[in-house]
């Protein structure tokens, strides 16, 4: 069942919304933004309905923080100040929609149902319930390659300790999966695992987000706020893309590693934190430390144990296993498909995967949308022509306007066909199609105009 979190400093509003939603949804309510966020970090939620104007952590702050933890969560802003300006501001800051007070039950339920449909949550809830019972299965790494097995063995060994770990590898290789496995195998598994994307936090706010701040610490700090380190107490924190942080922050992080204390912004009080730190990067931090681009003392503190994840191009033996896994994972898109053809596997074997495992999953998911048969084929994979051994053999015959003089596959034709098939799958509904394509509605509209696509085609 879909989990909804209601956050409003008015207890009556919480009760009204809870009664309104409980027949169809699992609802938990909070009258305090900090408590709500703490619950979200530990337990998650599918939808959040939060008041806009609240003391302490207001709706905008809560929105910003939950987006760091889970960019996909649906957030509605509740406001008694139902002006156009407040609604527009909420949506600009990333809210999916807003709900004005006083509540109209039909309006609230319609908005929720529309948001759920747009996010395509319904298709995954049964799988999610099963996944929650099997956390290890959810985050397992699919591999038979010696280098990956060695990395997993190292992760399992270091999980028994509290040593700091540095996970290195290109974008998309599965660094967060390794970090989660370390947490799941450790004695901290019953406490929070808090992933933080450092590259998404500007130099001006990263200290406040990680260490928290006191009321009045800076303009807009109307109340104290817990940082991610305090929320991860007794658990683990993943500092992803640690190489993007500036030297000033690195000094403070070094002090946390040394002393196990944090200082909230605006507070002279040291607060003890018991947190396992796992850092991840796609950069060569050792080289950057030598060149003074990254603090060498912090590098040596972070790299007590270093786990290097090889790129997918160096372990192509795993591609068939990964494809089988992703076909099962995305089978809800096209239940007829159960496997990939030998020709399809041959095409994938000649690709170098600059986006690694994440890119392979995207390729399989896209092919599940496009394929009309029972097996994934080179045609539905729509691989880049210059990465494949023979474009003419790997792709089905194209119309005349889909070829150049030398017969090479024209990517514009592929994109147009891809968009047409997704629109057909979604019965012409642009919002759903945009979600499946991984683009926003405006970009989809622009591409449809560019290629002369009409939804009635």
Distance, CA of 447 to CA of 440 (rounded, Å) = 11
pLDDT per position in the chain (457 positions), as tens?
789 999 999 999 999 999 999 878 999 999 999 899 888 888 889 999 999 888 888 888 899 888 877 878 899 998 775 555 776 777 888 888 888 888 888 888 888 888 887 776 544 554 444 444 444 445 568 888 999 999 999 999 999 999 999 999 999 999 999 999 999 999 998 888 999 999 888 887 898 889 987 877 776 666 777 889 988 999 999 999 999 999 999 999 999 999 999 988 888 888 999 999 999 999 999 999 999 999 999 999 999 999 999 999 999 999 999 999 999 988 888 899 999 998 888 889 888 899 999 999 999 998 998 888 899 998 888 754 443 433 333 333 334 344 443 333 445 566 777 788 778 777 788 887 887 777 878 888 888 888 888 755 4
> What are the backbone dihedrals phi and psi of residue 221, each rounded to the nearest 5 degrees, phi first?
-85, 80
Task: Look up the CATH superfamily of 3-131.
Answer: Response regulator (3.40.50.2300)
Which residue bears the tokens 């992760």?
Answer: 155
> What are the backbone dihedrals phi and psi of residue 209, each rounded to the nearest 5 degrees, phi first?
-65, -40
**Rounded-to-10 torsion of CA 286, 288, 293, 296:** 10
Reading the block at residue 353, the tokens are 């995967």
Name the H helices within 44-124.
59-69, 84-92, 105-119
Question: Could you tell me whether strands 261-263 and 270-272 are parallel, antiparallel, or unpaired per DSSP bridges?
Answer: antiparallel
Give the domain 136-310 fold: Rossmann fold (3.40.50)
Identical fold between 3-131 and 136-310: yes
Its pTM stands at: 0.58
> What are the backbone dihedrals phi and psi of residue 168, each rounded to the nearest 5 degrees, phi first?
-115, 140
> ω into residue 102 within 30 of 0, thus cis?
yes
Domain boundaries, the chain: 3-131, 136-310, 323-451
């Amino acid at each position: 069942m879909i989990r909804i979190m209601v956050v409003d400093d008015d207890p009556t509003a919480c009760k009204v919304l809870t009664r309104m939603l409980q027949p169809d949804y699992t609802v938990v309510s909070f009258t305090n933004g900090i408590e709500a966020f703490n619950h979200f970090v530990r337990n998650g939620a599918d939808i959040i309905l939060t008041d806009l104007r609240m003391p302490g952590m207001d709706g905008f702050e809560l929105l910003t923080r939950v987006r760091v933890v889970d960019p996909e969560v649906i957030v509605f802003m509740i406001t008694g100040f139902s002006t156009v300006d407040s609604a527009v501001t909420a949506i600009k800051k990333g809210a999916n929609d807003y709900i004005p007070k006083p509540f109209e039950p039909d309006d609230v339920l319609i908005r929720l149902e529309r948001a759920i449909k747009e996010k395509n949550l319904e298709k995954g809830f049964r799988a999610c319930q099963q996944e929650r019972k099997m956390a290890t299965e959810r985050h397992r790494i699919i591999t038979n390659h010696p280098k990956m097995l060695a990395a997993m063995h190292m992760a399992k060994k270091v999980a028994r300790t509290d040593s700091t770990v540095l996970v290195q590898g290109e974008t998309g290789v599965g660094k967060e999966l390794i970090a989660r496995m370390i947490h799941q195998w450790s004695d901290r598994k019953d406490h929070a695992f808090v992933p933080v994307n450092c590259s998404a936090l500007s130099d001006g706010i990263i200290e406040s987000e990680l260490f928290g701040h006191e009321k009045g610490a800076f303009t807009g700090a109307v109340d104290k706020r817990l940082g991610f380190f305090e929320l991860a107490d007794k658990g683990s924190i993943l500092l992803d893309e640690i190489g993007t942080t500036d030297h000033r922050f690195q000094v403070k992080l070094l002090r946390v590693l040394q002393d196990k204390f944090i200082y909230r912004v605006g507070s002279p009080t040291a607060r003890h934190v018991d947190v396992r730190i796992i850092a991840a990067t796609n950069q060569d931090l050792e080289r950057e430390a030598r060149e003074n681009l990254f603090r060498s003392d912090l590098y040596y503190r972070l790299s007590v144990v270093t786990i290097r994840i090889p790129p997918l191009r160096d372990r192509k033996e795993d591609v068939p296993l990964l494809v089988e896994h992703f076909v099962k994972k995305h089978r809800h898109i096209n239940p007829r498909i159960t496997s990939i053809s030998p020709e399809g596997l041959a095409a994938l074997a000649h690709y170098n995967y600059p986006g690694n495992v994440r890119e392979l999953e995207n390729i399989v998911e896209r092919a599940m949308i496009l394929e009309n048969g029972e097996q994934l084929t080179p045609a539905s994979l729509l691989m880049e022509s210059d990465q494949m051994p023979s474009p003419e053999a790997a792709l089905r015959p194209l119309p005349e306007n889909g070829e150049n003089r030398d017969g090479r596959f024209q990517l514009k034709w592929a994109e147009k066909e891809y968009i047409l098939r997704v629109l057909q799958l979604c019965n012409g509904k642009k919002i759903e199609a945009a979600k499946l394509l991984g683009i926003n509605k405006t970009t989809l509209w622009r591409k449809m105009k560019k290629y002369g696509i009409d939804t009635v085609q």
